[in-house]
């Protein structure tokens, strides 16, 4: 098992902030996981993929377990379905592309989401009308509390909007090693109804897109809208979209007639955190070396050389303002350490 002490984390997080990890363990196979609970302090542990959804606000005194398990296998289940089993350390978008190149359908809407395969189930990544939980067959990993491997079927993973049991009850206790995806060998209806996606397809004269065409459209839209972490440090959406009850929504509407929201289930309305931030005057604003992206109010950026604590302080200022202006408490999507 490879391990190092006093590791600089700058290259391990997409916000590009500097922080030191007291110890870092590099997991390259399932064998490396056996007995790992003896080598770490479970109270000071963080499991790391590619660090695209993580903010290191200060040095990390404990152990970081970096998951680098590789490998990808496809197995036809029947004439319609194929099971892809893939190591948690593989890159998400490379997997999406590989599955599409093999003629398999399912992951196209989730193209170009940064990060590792192992992190995808954690917050049930989603984009353009699809959540990864719809495609997951199983999640396998190592339970640090009992020191044993466990395998969960999709129904047992507690998937919800941007969450799962791995993010909640099992947080920092379960190292995902491999994930199984159930993909389609034949496809008919694809999910192309998401507004910006259907507009893009219309504008480019694409009718009845193939999965590959849909993926290419998603990639183009994302590239035009989201800042590339390789160019400007960021972690994607910093906050989740808040959900309020209908009564609260009606009250808000009286004060802010233009407030957008849509009902996700009876009596519950999802609002747009980006809109709330923009209305509070933060879009495109800088605070020293950090700022709110000029096109994406939900994305906080490191303009170069910022410390993690500066990003954190900016996020707290946004939260305070949203609370003051709308009486809504934003919840972070990014994991803050």
Ligand X SMILES: Cc1cc2nc3c(=O)[nH]c(=O)nc-3n(C[C@H](O)[C@H](O)[C@H](O)COP(=O)(O)OP(=O)(O)OC[C@H]3O[C@@H](n4cnc5c(N)ncnc54)[C@H](O)[C@@H]3O)c2cc1C
Q: Binding residues for ligand X, how many (CB under 6 A)?
A: 32
DSSP letter string, 116-166: BTTTTTTTT-EETTEEGGGTEEEEEEEETTTTEEEEEEGGGS--BTTB-TT
* Contact of 291 with 300, CB cutoff 8 Å: yes
Give the residue with the Cβ less far from ligand X, 200 or 326: 200
Does 88 sit near ligand X (CB under 6 A)?
Answer: yes
Token digits of residue 204: 């480019």
Which listed residue (47, 136, 139, 306) binds ligand X by CB under 6 A? 47
Does 274 sit near ligand X (CB under 6 A)?
Answer: no
Selected range binding ligand X among 30-38, 110-118, 279-287, 307-315, rule: CB under 6 A: 110-118
* Shortest CB 117 distance to ligand X, Å: 8
Does 233 sit near ligand X (CB under 6 A)?
Answer: no
If one counts every other C-beta atom within 10 angstroms of the C-beta of residue 128, the result is 21
HSE value, Cβ hemisphere, 13 Å, CA-based, for 53: 26
Which listed residue (17, 37, 40, 52) binds ligand X by CB under 6 A? 52
303: nearest Cα among 315, 316, 319, 292: 292
3-state secondary structure 15-73: CCCCCEEEEEEEECCHHHHCCHHHCCCCCCEEEECCCCCEECCCCEEEEEEEECCCCEE
Which listed residue (64, 113, 139, 218) binds ligand X by CB under 6 A? 113
Rule CB under 6 A: which of 6-25 touch ligand X? Answer: 14
Place of tokens 């972690």: 235
Active-site residue among 178, 215, 333, 335? Answer: 333
Rule CB under 6 A: which of 276-315 touch ligand X? Answer: none
User: What is the pairing mode between strands 268-271 and 261-265?
Assistant: antiparallel
Active-site residue among 237, 280, 315, 335? Answer: 237
Does 105 sit near ligand X (CB under 6 A)?
Answer: no
DSSP 183: E
Which listed residue (36, 64, 192, 226) binds ligand X by CB under 6 A? 226
Selected range binding ligand X among 16-24, 71-79, 232-240, 252-260, rule: CB under 6 A: 232-240
Active site residue 162: yes
* Shortest CB 242 distance to ligand X, Å: 16
Rule CB under 6 A: which of 184-223 touch ligand X? Answer: none
**How many angstroms separate the CA atoms of 42 and 296, rounded?**
37
Does 114 sit near ligand X (CB under 6 A)?
Answer: yes
Which listed residue (36, 53, 238, 322) binds ligand X by CB under 6 A? 53
Give the residue with the Cβ less far from ligand X, 103 or 158: 158
If one counts every other C-beta atom within 10 angstroms of the C-beta of residue 73, the result is 11
HSE value, Cβ hemisphere, 13 Å, CA-based, for 79: 0
Which listed residue (236, 242, 261, 291) binds ligand X by CB under 6 A? 236
* Shortest CB 333 distance to ligand X, Å: 7
Does 229 sit near ligand X (CB under 6 A)?
Answer: yes
* Contact of 227 with 293, CB cutoff 8 Å: yes
Give the residue with the Cβ less far from ligand X, 48 or 136: 48
The answer for residues whose C-beta is within 8 angstroms of residue 144's C-beta and 6 or more apart is: 36, 37, 40, 42, 45, 172, 173, 174, 175
Enzyme catalytic residues: 162, 237, 333
Residues that bind ligand X (CB under 6 A): 14, 46-54, 67, 88, 113-116, 118-120, 122-123, 125-127, 175-176, 226, 229, 234-236, 335
């Amino acid at each position: 098992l490879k391990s190092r002490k006093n590791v600089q984390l700058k290259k391990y997080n997409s916000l590009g902030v500097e922080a030191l990890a007291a110890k870092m363990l590099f997991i390259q196979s399932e064998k490396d996981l056996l007995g790992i609970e003896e080598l770490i302090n479970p109270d000071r542990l963080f499991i790391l993929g590619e660090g695209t959804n993580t903010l290191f606000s200060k040095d990390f005194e404990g152990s970081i377990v970096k998951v680098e398990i590789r490998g990808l296998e496809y197995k036809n289940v029947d004439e319609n379905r194929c099971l892809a089993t893939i190591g948690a350390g593989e890159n998400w978008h490379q997997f999406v592309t590989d599955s599409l190149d093999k003629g398999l359908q399912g992951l196209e809407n989730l193209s170009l989401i940064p990060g590792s395969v192992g992190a995808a189930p954690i917050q049930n990544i989603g984009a353009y009308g699809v959540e990864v939980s719809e495609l997951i067959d199983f999640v396998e990993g190592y339970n640090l509390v009992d020191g044993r491997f466990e395998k969960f079927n999709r129904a047992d993973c507690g998937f919800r909007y941007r969450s799962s049991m791995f993010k909640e009850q099992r947080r920092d206790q379960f190292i995902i090693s491999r994930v199984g995806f159930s993909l389609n060998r034949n496809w008919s209806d694809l999910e192309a109804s998401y507004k910006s996606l259907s507009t893009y397809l219309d504008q480019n004269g694409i009718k009845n897109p193939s999965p590959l065409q849909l993926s290419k459209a998603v990639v183009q839209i994302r590239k035009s809208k989201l800042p590339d972490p390789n160019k400007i440090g960021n972690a994607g959406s910093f906050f989740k979209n808040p959900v309020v009850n209908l009564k609260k929504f009606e009250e808000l509407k009286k004060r802010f007639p233009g407030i957008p929201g849509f009902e996700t289930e009876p009596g519950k309305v999802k609002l747009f955190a980006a809109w709330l931030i923009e209305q509070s005057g933060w879009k495109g604003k800088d605070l020293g070396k950090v700022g709110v992206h000029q096109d994406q109010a939900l994305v906080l950026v490191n303009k170069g050389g910022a410390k993690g604590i500066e990003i954190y302080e900016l996020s707290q200022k946004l939260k305070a303002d949203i609370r003051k202006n709308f009486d809504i408490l934003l919840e972070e999507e990014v994991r803050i350490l």
